[in-house]
Structure 1
Amino acid sequence: MGVGAWGGAASLVLALSACTASPPADTRSGTGDRDSVTGGAAATPGPDEITLAFGGDVHFEGRAARLLDRPGGLGSIARTLRTADVAMVNLETPVTRSGRRDPKELENARDRYWFRTRPAAVDVLADAGVDVVSVANNHAGDYGAAGLRDTLAAGRKRGVATVGAGRGEAAYDPHVVEVGDLEVAFLAADGVQREGAGGVWSATAGRLGTASARGSNAAELVDEVEAASARDQLVVVYVHWGREYQSCPTQSQRLLARDLAAAGADVVVGSHSHVLGGAGWAGEAVVSYGLGNFVWYHARQEQTGVLSVTLDAGGAVRKSWTPAAISSTDGRPVPVTGAARGRAVADWRARQRCTGLAADRGGSQADDPAYASSVSRIDADLADRMRRSHRPGCPVPLRDLRHLELTHRDFDGRARTGELVVHRRWARQVAGAFGRLYDAGFPVARMRLVDDYRADDDLSMAANNTSGFNCRRVAGQRSWSRHAYGAAIDINPVQNPYVTARGVDPPAGRPFAGVPRDRSAPARPGVVRAGDIPVSAFTRLGWEWGGDWVSSKDYQHVAAPRGR
């Protein structure tokens, strides 16, 4: 295929044969409004429909470099890509042997990586059926403007279209494909923090760079979507966005997806987090928040797949998922078979819950209000309500406690108002910490005073309640718990149980007792991992996480150290 934007060149419209091929033979109709999920009998598209296929991040580093010298390097996943009328991925590496490393002075010094690959990478993708790549990401500029220029030239030479880069405004130009009577405009932009101050990380007038969806730049992307929709084109937007290793969407992702859908986008997909995110419907638009890694140099986050979306002249009509796993041998995505296939599909479908997206076409996206919090003293009515959790003899008087009302996301991605009681010393800082959880999209099942559960810690944990103050002793000891001082909070106790040699509390948390909790472990909604946003948000306050304890693990527990 041709190129949509080469240093300011106008978009090209290419003619393809009308859609006559069937989608993968392992697609079946699912529940809901014309939605489908991989796993059964074939569903043949109509004569006026087209199918698009999307994969996540692609690298050819390390062991994945072996694919560059192997015919048919991507293997059997290519069947799913080739079946689609147009297939698209995110090329997360410059295709260059020239240029110099960009200093990336805006990135954490301990977290800077530079990647590049040979032109054979584009050949491998083209051979597998990939037609369009996004280069709007945080590695496109690893070797400066020269490396980005070489990347665009490699795509042009090998007939793979690139989007998301160009000179100035041309970086936002769509690549337009004509399939029968339908035209599809493909756009891309980078929404994560820029890694360097150089122009390559955000195209400006007369300078080569990537398209940005950060801050006010998002308006330019939305304008391009509106313009393409006004031309009666179907519109696809591939966004590099999200928080690393976080499956649920951030607040900024949700707001951008809403704006793109309202502007006329029919499909909004994205990657960057390295883990699969949820997919669903924002009105008539398909939104997928995280396609994960696709071709990758390690298999620590092995879950991947291909999202296929079928469209007609009115927009998206259904989606399907072909699950795969990244090979630990060579980094290619291998389709999942047998019983593991059903489990992978169920997992993918379950990830929709925390997105706020609708399960069915035409459903509305959940509201996305700004984070709000309030801090107030304990008045007479609240003191009466707290008569179980605060009694005579407690180490902290009521006058030193504060009642917090906080916005949080539930496990369905909907904004809720919760409440906590903490010590006045920590009240505003705790409110700020939960604001960071909200912005990151970290879900909290419920947040009610422990008095709603008779101040019984076991009942509160069993209800998966996130709670703060409770005048109680440490289990099995005479010393006061940090909760009795309003200096501790338990977050999602079911997903983050208290694990000791004696057992697991709450009992409903047993399936989560042994899940990996390192930062790059597979993401599960509501699960707290090392370095995860709940840990980092409270570490900033000087608090400690019970998951770091040695003799036992209290994964739900964050608390101020004793003496503070």
Structure 2
Amino acid sequence: MATTRCTPRRTGVLGALVASLVLTAACSDGGGRAQTGPDAEGGPGSGGRAGARAAEAAGTTVTLAFAGDVHFEQALGDLVQQPGSDLGEVSRPLRAADVAVVNLESALASRDTPTDKELEDPDQRYWFRSDPAALGVLARSGVDVVPLANNHGADHGLAGLRASLTAAADRARPAVVGIGRDAEQAYRPYRVDVRGTGVAVLAADASPRESRDPVWAAGEGGPGIAAARPGDAGRLLDAVRRAARTDDVVAVYLHWGEEERQTPTTAQRGLAERLARAGADVVVGSHAHVLLGAGMLDDTYVGYGLGNFTWYHGRKSETGVLTVELRDGVVVGDRWSPARIPPEGGVPRLLTGRERDEAQVWWRDLRRGTGLAPTDGTTPERLPAYRARVAPIGEALGRRMTGASHDPATCPLPLDRLRVLSVPHVGFDGQPRTGRMVVRASLARDVVQVFERLYDARWPLRRMRLVDAYGGDDDRSMADDNSSGYNCRRVAGSDTLSAHAFGRAIDVNPVENPYLTTGGVLPPAGARFADLDRTSDAQPPAGVVHADDVVVRAFAEVGWEWGGTFSEPDYQHFYRP
């Protein structure tokens, strides 16, 4: 069916306003959006919901919200059967956006017809299916567009794909994209006019193909999913170029990346660059089950990974909603609404207060190493000069330490062989702070140098207090995520004096970097960080130590070693042999 554009591309404020006034009668859906999609009868690629949301200025500002992978397996299947159900509080940032996009990682079918997955590792073969009523849950949650172009969209073969197409055609909202009865429909964008700004949303699967069944790539003889795998991205690029000629904003949602890898792959970077050159304004995606960095690639906003969103387990629990703001078709800002999936899985809850603030800093920090820039084009505010202080243990501090971290009768070092350091560091909120730590006098200058490296790198520390603030109780200090040095104590579970008793050990962010013992995780709050990738190419959350990172290198430069290599890894622990 032919499409009539209601506004010219990138008309600017006045042009968009005039066009919207002149063409309202022909194009309006009754609210602030005008449907311009090619399928007036509904189904994949059709237009969106009525009713405009508030804008900063007429016809100039548009917000797009994106969230990661969703399906309705196991306990989540009950949600579909509950009348009027939605995704709860995480629906708020979705409803607040002009266009909201969430990836449904399953077929929409009422019965199982699993296809072979002979190209997938036998231990990694999963088949997901959601009741078609799941679209109603997503619609009530504020979702406008649902990509099905992913490594589970064709899990149930041709029968499942046809069922998904039927389910999509039966509803005006949300629109389903990335699948089709032929290649033309699979690569067709969802189109909507938002207060005079034309928005197009496309989707494609760029994850490894799991089966030779033709349904895994539309255009191979019939129905299928849109694909953009290495060497096979031509159709998607052509579709983006066509959309860029007529639409003010072109967004692409991809299923891409490597599972559980928190850095973008070479293939992701290359595809993002090609889509940017083709005219995409926003390129985001999911698949890795973990969050990845986001920011600007020249004029294109790229989000490399949105993680799981509503999921049947909480092993990869960090999630959220990404909102991208565009003005006159140009990205001007982004906003992260962090959330967390419960340990048992299910619908995530929005974080609030300090948890929210810290999660937002962590999410921003994921941009490191991606080559992406902040949306405002600025660099972080300059930190004050690093000025550390080294001082002997004074009389007042000595009295405080005695009976807490120090016992003159049993400890190997007298107080005059220790020094107290006042050390600048950056907090999880990105702001400079000053903490205190006691170490061996002969190592004080080396430790000052280490923390200068971390300060310059803006590597965050939760807090740095003398362990005496906790009565010398290491468990309490760890539970408070406190980075500390000297403490005349024994190794946990033994009679051997710890390296801390000799002033030559430091524990860093114990919650983010727990000690993994045969008896459990110390501190217990560190359990959710226990299984993180800590290899040299990892991109873990802020404050997490991993191999060959700035923390490990800074300590190594002054002859210290990392406990993360122990048979029972002690990720927080650094020591001078």
Does TM-score exceed 0.5, indicating one fold? yes
SS in 1 for 2:277: helix
1:162 and 2:163 matched: no
1:327, distance to aligned residue in structure 2 (A): 2.9
Higher relative contact order (CA 8 A, sep 6+): 1
The aligned residue for residue 74 of structure 2 is 62
Q: Are 2:149 and 2:179, in contact at CA under 8 Å, matched by a contact in 1?
A: yes
Separation of aligned partners in 2, 1:200 and 1:548: 46
Secondary structure at the counterpart of residue 65 of structure 1: helix
Structure 1 residue 8 displacement after superposition: 13
Output aligned runs, 1:504-523, within 5 Å. Answer: 507=506, 511=510, 512-514=513-515, 521-522=531-532
Please state whether the residue corresponding to 1:355 is helix, strand or coil.
coil
Go from structure 1 to structure 2 and tell me whether the alpha carbon gap of 1:99 and 1:75 turns closer, same or farther (over 3 Å shift).
closer
TM-fit CA distance, 1:507:
4.4
Mapping 1:450-461, distance limit 5 Å: none
How far apart, CA to CA, are the structure 2 residues paired with 1:114 and 1:519? 28
Match of 2:136 among 123, 126, 129: 123
Q: Following TM superposition, by how much is the alpha carbon of 1:164 offset from its aligned partner in structure 2, in angstroms?
A: 1.0
Number of matched residues?
Answer: 399
Code of the aligned partner of 1:514: Y
Which of 306, 315, 318 is the equivalent residue of 1:300? 315
Contact 1:265 1:285 (C-alpha < 8 Å) held by counterparts: yes
| CA apart distance, 1:316 | 1.9
Q: Secondary structure at the match of 2:200?
A: strand
Q: Whole-Å Cα distance in 2 between the matches of residues 523 and 89 of structure 1?
A: 26
Deviation at 1:156, TM superposition (A): 2.2
Q: For the structure 1 residues 245 and 9, does the alpha-carbon distance in structure 2 shift closer, same or farther, using more than 3 Å as the test?
A: closer
CA drift of 1:232 comes to: 3.8
Distance 1:100 1:337 in 2: 42
Provide Cα deviations, 1:361-417, integer angstroms capped at 9, x if missing partner.
4689xxxxxxxxxxxxxxxxxxxxxxxxxxxxxxxxxxxxxxxxxxxxxxxxxxxxx
User: Structure 2 residue aligned with 1:220, among 225, 235, 239?
Assistant: 235
| Paired residues of 1:222 and 1:263 also in contact (CA < 8 A) | yes
2:54 to 6, 11, 20: 20
- Asked whether the equivalents of residues 43 and 168 of structure 2 are also in contact (C-alpha less than 8 Å), the reply is no
Match of residue 141, structure 1, among 154, 168, 180: 154
**Contact 1:240 1:272 (8 Å CA) reproduced:** yes
| Secondary structure in structure 2 of the residue aligned to 1:110 | helix
List runs of 5+ in structure 2 lacking aligned partners: 1-34, 380-445, 455-490, 493-497, 517-525, 540-545, 548-562
**How far off its partner does 1:463 sit?**
7.7
2:337 maps to 322
The verdict on how the C-alpha distance between 1:4 and 1:114 changes in structure 2, with shifts beyond 3 A counting, is: farther
Q: What residue in structure 2 maps to residue 203 of structure 1?
A: 218
1:80 aligns with 93
Give 1:340's aligned amino acid: E
- Tell me the SS of whatever aligns to 1:152: helix
Distance change >3 Å, CA 82–CA 15, structure 1 → 2:
closer
* Pairwise CA distance, 1:233: 3.2
C-alpha separation in 2, matches of 1:102 and 1:204: 18
Deviations 1:411-454 (A, max 9, x none): xxxxxxxxxxxxxxxxxxxxxxxxxxxxxxxxxxxxxxxxxxxx
User: Which residue of the partner structure matches residue 48 of structure 1?
Assistant: 60
User: What is the aligned counterpart of 1:112 among 105, 116, 125?
Assistant: 125
- Cα offset for 1:15? 7.7
Equivalent residue, structure 1, for 2:257: 242
Q: Which amino acid aligns with 2:108?
A: V
Corresponding residue for residue 523 of structure 2: none
Q: For residues 337-376 of structure 1, what are the structure 2 equivalents within 5 Å?
A: 337-361=352-376
Structure 1 residues 14 and 120 mapped into 2: Cα distance closer, same or farther (>3 Å)? closer
Mapped partners of 2:39, 2:221: distance in 1: 14
Distance in 1 separating the partners of 2:308 and 2:206: 17
Is the contact between residue 309 and residue 347 of structure 2 (CA under 8 Å) also seen in structure 1?
yes
1:274–1:11 CA distance, 2 compared to 1 (3 A): closer
Give the superposition deviation at 1:261.
1.4
Cα distance in 2 for residues equivalent to 1:307 and 1:16:
22
Q: Report if aligned partners of 1:8, 1:170 keep a CA contact under 8 Å in 2.
A: no
The answer to whether structure 1 residue 261 and structure 2 residue 276 are counterparts is yes
Shift of 1:518: 10
The reply on whether 1:309 has 2:330 as its aligned counterpart is no
Decide which structure has the larger Cα Rg and report it: 2
Structure 1 contact 281–357 (Cα < 8 Å) conserved:
yes
Shift of 1:77: 1.6
Q: Structure 1 residue 45: deviation in Å?
A: 6.3
CA contact (8 A) 1:301 1:522 kept: no
Q: Is the 8 A contact 2:91 2:142 kept in 1?
A: yes
Task: Identify unmatched segments of 5+ residues in structure 1.
Answer: 22-43, 365-455, 465-499, 535-545, 557-564
Alpha-carbon distance change, 11 to 111 in structure 1, aligned in 2, over 3 angstroms: closer
AA aligned to 1:110 is D
Post-superposition offset of 1:128: 0.7
Identity of aligned residues (%): 42
Residues 51 and 146 of structure 1: CA distance in aligned 2, closer, same or farther (over 3 Å): same
Cα gap change, 1:552/1:144 in structure 2, threshold over 3 Å: closer, same or farther? closer
Aligned partners of 1:7 and 1:208 also within 8 Å: no
Change (3 A) 1:107 1:549: farther
Match of residue 295 from structure 2: 280
Matched position secondary structure for 1:207: coil
- Equivalent position of 1:150 in the other structure: 163
Using the TM superposition, give the Cα deviation of residue 319 of structure 1 relative to its aligned residue in structure 2, in angstroms: 1.1
Summarize the alignment of residues 403-552 of structure 1 with structure 2, pairs less than 5 Å apart: 502=498, 507=506, 511=510, 512-514=513-515, 521-522=531-532, 526=536, 550=567
Secondary structure in structure 2 of the residue aligned to 1:332: coil
